Amino acid sequence: MSDASPILRGRVAAVLGANIDTDLIYPGRYLNITDREKTAEHLFELAWPEIRSRLRPGDFIVAGPNFGCGSSREQAAAALKYAGCGAVIAASFARIFYRNAINLGLPAVVSPSAAAQCGEGDELEIDLSAGEIHNLSRNITIAAAPLDPRAIELVRSGGLIPWLKAKYAAPAAG
Amino acid sequence: MSMTLAEKILARASGRSRVAPDEIVVADVDLAMSHENADLVRKAFLEIGAPRVWDPEKIVIIFDHRIPAESEKTAATHKAVREFVRQQGIRHFYDVGRGGICHQVLADNGHVKPGMVVVGTDSHTTTHGAFGAFATGIGATEMAGVWVEGRLWFKVPSTIRIEVEGEFAPWVSAKDLILWIIGKLGAAGADYRAVEFDGSAVRRMSVASRMVLCNLSMEMGAKVAFTPVAEIGPDPEAEYERTLHIHLGYDIPEPQIACPHSVDNVKPLSALGEVKVHQAVLGSCTNGRLEDLEIAARILAGRRVHPDTRLIVIPASQRICLEAMRLGYLETLIEAGAIVNPPGCGPCVGVHQGILAAGEVCVSSTNRNFIGRMGSKDSFVYLASPAVVAASAVAGRIIHPEAVMAKENAHV
């Protein structure tokens, strides 16, 4: 927990377009599933169910602008996390999805050019605090926005619940 | 230093004299609303381990997405939330038959006041800007944090000001106006931003129509949206990221339609071509209010729903349902061949009460037309005003209400 520069390494499982909405990520019909682990079963179910079977732990999803637009459903971020996704990299994020992802401990990385500079299967290394993505397969560095230190803290804690748990469940330590 | 309305409310709620865009503030929450996903919030809250919610008077829970329970799974969820509400002493709980769509129930019961900070675990929480509140959607885990701490961090948004003048053309309404704006700005056109609507046309609008503007601002990414209230407003010299000027008669002379599969895929009705519809839906937090039912009843009076089309009507709340019944709107709609669903979200979220089969086309007064939103991934949803929905139900195809009203009877 003391590493100053968290580095993620993984493979690109899919490169998606603009305005990937939360119904595409996680259909509304499954909103009554409240076990976070089980949400993974329905990731991208309507349009791209094959992505889920392709995802290996730590893999990345890369997308265009406005990823996660639409509903506030947290299951969209949960499904990605529990299907094994190590981070979502997008040109921009819809605001509620972005907060949900960080609150669940799923890094959401803003990079305007990643979708154009990554292909499926590429090996990436992401430096969250420096805001750099190294595409090892293509030997290029892709610019990204550094993740806010508060967000990095939440991601490293495993999300908002463990972070608050440490604050409230234990007796106040001053 | 002059402030926009969003800045003013966040300054007050975070105990500062002024705030500026992109600053991070921690604001006290005045109202925290959840629907069925209160069960997710409840689970996260229990995981955190705090014994009591911060203030049971400031939490409102309203079942609307799946009412009455459509499955045993939902029934268990409802039951768990009811028990939690009792244990925590949360008085503002609207169970099946007592409320309706969360956003309408908050309005019906006067929960939202000007200047409040309102968070809801529903993206369309922006609706409450129609009452002068800084109201925005958040996720369930974040809401659990609010239930524990009663506050939340916000990045102060910059503001887009939209001034609307002129008169609506016949059969054109607030829904057409906001669809037109979303078509111009795009699905991410107001991402992370506040939107202030003003101008003589907005000031003449009913509360219901103002709620439509604030509600659908979410579909261009807005964090919050406002229409003017008497109690609080932006400073005259406030700074805006940009200002749009719209003249209703000139810019929006006819109804607007959001075509599949995105809300910003907007076309004027005359550019649509022939679109036959299997289903027409009138309802939702966007357009299930009394004025929406009234205009539909006016169009359907003495007419029949087309034999190849079904019309589903969902009043937004119990109160609206009762009022529409007293005024005879429901009778008119039922006589015309509509089915009336219980107040709630209905088929809008793709769960029940009007799901579409593959290949089916629906014209709907709701708020989203994403792939699979209302059922099959191979179905098609066109978003339109209540008047266009009602007229299209009669014609069996998407049509201008004027064309239906020009004829006496069923088949246009």
Q: Which residues of A touch B144 (CB under 8 A)?
A: 160-161, 164
Å between A172 CA and nearest CA of chain B: 12
- pLDDT band at residue B310 using 50, 70 and 90 as cut-offs: very high
Q: Is residue A2 part of a domain?
A: no
Same domain membership, residue B284 and residue B244: no
Which chain B positions have a beta carbon within 8 Å of A160's beta carbon? 141-142, 144-145
CB-nearest to B192 from A19, A95, A159 is: A95
Percentage of chain B lying above the pLDDT 90 cut: 98
Whether residue B188 lies within 8 A of chain A, CB to CB, comes out as yes
pLDDT of residue A174: 41
| CATH assignment at residue B230 | 3.40.1060.10
Domain range enclosing A89? 7-168
* Residue A67 within any structural domain of the chain: yes
In a domain, B4, yes or no: no
**B189 touches A: beta carbon within 8 Å:** no
Residue where a domain stops, chosen among B99, B124, B153: B153
Of B202, B220, B251, which one is at a domain's C-terminal end? B251
Is the pTM above the cut of 0.80?
yes
How much is the pLDDT for A1? 41
The verdict on B122 touching A (C-beta cutoff 8 Å) is yes
Residue B204 — very low, low, confident or very high, per pLDDT cuts 50/70/90? very high
> Are residue B401 and residue B264 in the same domain, yes or no?
yes
- Summarised one tens digit per residue, pLDDT across range A75-101 is 999 999 999 999 999 999 999 999 999
Question: Has residue B190 got a pLDDT over 50?
Answer: yes
Domain boundary among B226, B251, B276: B251
Angle subtended at Cα B124 by Cα B58 and Cα B151, rounded to the nearest 5 degrees: 35
Is B20 domain-assigned?
no
Give yes or no for A157 touching B (CB within 8 A): no
The answer for residues whose C-beta is within 8 angstroms of residue B263's C-beta and 6 or more apart is: B179, B182, B187, B216, B219, B220, B367, B368, B369, B383
Whether residue B412 has pLDDT greater than 70: no
Segment B158-184, tens digit of pLDDT: 999 999 999 999 999 999 999 999 999
B300-310 average pLDDT score: 98
Residues 125-154 of A with CB under 8 A from B: 150
On chain A, the residues whose CB falls within 8 A of the CB of B373 are: 23, 28
Do B356 and B400 reside in the same domain of the chain? yes
Q: Answer whether B35 touches A (CB < 8 Å).
A: no
- A74 with B144: Cβ contact below 8 A: no
Q: Are residues B263 and B246 in the same domain?
A: no
Q: Mark yes or no for CB contact A46/B40 under 8 Å.
A: no
Kindly state whether residue A155 falls inside one of the protein's structural domains.
yes
Instruction: Please report, rounded to a whole number, the percentage of residues in chain B having pLDDT higher than 70.
Output: 99
Mean pLDDT of chain B: 97
- Counting one residue from A and one from B, how many pairs have CB atoms under 8 Å apart? 127
User: What pLDDT, on a 0 to 100 scale, did the predictor assign at position A166?
Assistant: 87
Q: Which residue of A has its CA nearest to B36?
A: A32
Same domain, yes or no: B32 and B147: yes
Asked whether residue B93 is assigned to any structural domain, the reply reads: yes
Query: Do residue B69 and residue B112 come from a single domain?
Result: yes
Point out the residue among A69, A104, A160 whose CB comes nearest to the CB of B187: A69
Q: Which pLDDT does position A5 carry in this prediction?
A: 62
Q: Is B40–A34 a contact, with Cβ atoms under 8 angstroms apart?
A: yes
User: Tell me: the pLDDT tens digits for B253-279?
Assistant: 999 999 999 999 999 999 999 999 999
Closest residue to B262, CB basis, from A19, A99, A150: A19
pLDDT in tens, A135-161: 999 999 999 999 999 999 999 999 999
**Contacts with B72 from chain A: Cβ below 8 Å:** none
Q: Domain containing B287 — which CATH number? A: 3.30.499.10
Average pLDDT over residues B90-108: 98
- Interchain contact B265–A (C-beta under 8 A): no
How far away is chain A from the Cα of B141, in angstroms, using its nearest Cα?
Answer: 7
In a domain, residue B316? The reply is yes
Mutation site for A-interface testing, chosen from B47, B48, B126 by largest number of A Cβ within 10 Å: B48
Q: Residue B99 is part of which domain span?
A: 25-153
Interface test with A, best of B67, B73, B102, B142 (most A CBs within 10 A): B142
Measured between alpha carbons, how far is B179 from A99 in angstroms, rounded to an integer? 26
- Do the Cβ atoms of A66 and B350 come within 8 Å? no
- Do B131 and B213 reside in the same domain of the chain? no
User: A34 pLDDT band (50/70/90 cuts)?
Assistant: confident
The predicted structure's pLDDT at residue B411:
52
The pLDDT, as a whole number, for residue B104 is 98
Please indicate, yes or no, if residue A174 is contained in any of the structural domains. Answer: no
* Domains held by chain B: number: 3
Q: Are residues B262 and B243 part of one domain? A: no
* Residue B5: pLDDT over 50: yes
Q: Are residues B280 and B401 in the same domain?
A: yes
Assign residue A12 the CATH number of its domain. 3.20.19.10
For residue B155, give the nearest of B101, B193, B104, B121 by alpha carbon: B193
Q: Say whether pLDDT at A68 is over 80.
A: yes
What percentage of chain A exceeds 70 in pLDDT?
94
Residue B2 lies in a domain: no
Find, in chain B, the residue whose alpha carbon is nearest to that of A36. Answer: B40
Query: Is residue A173, in this structure, part of any structural domain at all?
Result: no
Of B138, B193, B380, nearest in space to A71 by CA: B138
Are residues B148 and B43 both part of a single domain? yes
pLDDT tens, B343-395? 999 999 999 999 999 999 999 999 999 999 999 999 999 999 999 999 999 99
Please tell me the total count of domains within chain A.
Answer: 1
Is A16 domain-assigned? yes
B65 touches chain A (CB under 8 A): yes
Residue B277 lies in a domain: yes
B9 closest CA partner among B146, B120, B139, B136: B136
Q: At what angle do helices A75-82 and A95-103 cross, to 10 degrees?
A: 50
CB-based contact, B43 to chain A, within 8 Å: yes
Chain A residues whose beta carbon lies within 8 Å of the beta carbon of residue B39: 34
Distance in angstroms (rounded) separating the CA atoms of residues B16 and B101: 35
Instruction: Report the alpha-carbon distance of residue B379 to residue A85 in Å, rounded.
Output: 29
Cβ distance B153 to B268 under 8 Å?
A: no
Separation in Å, CA of B369 to nearest CA in chain A? 10
Domain identity same for B398 and B261: yes
Residues B393, B261 share a domain: yes
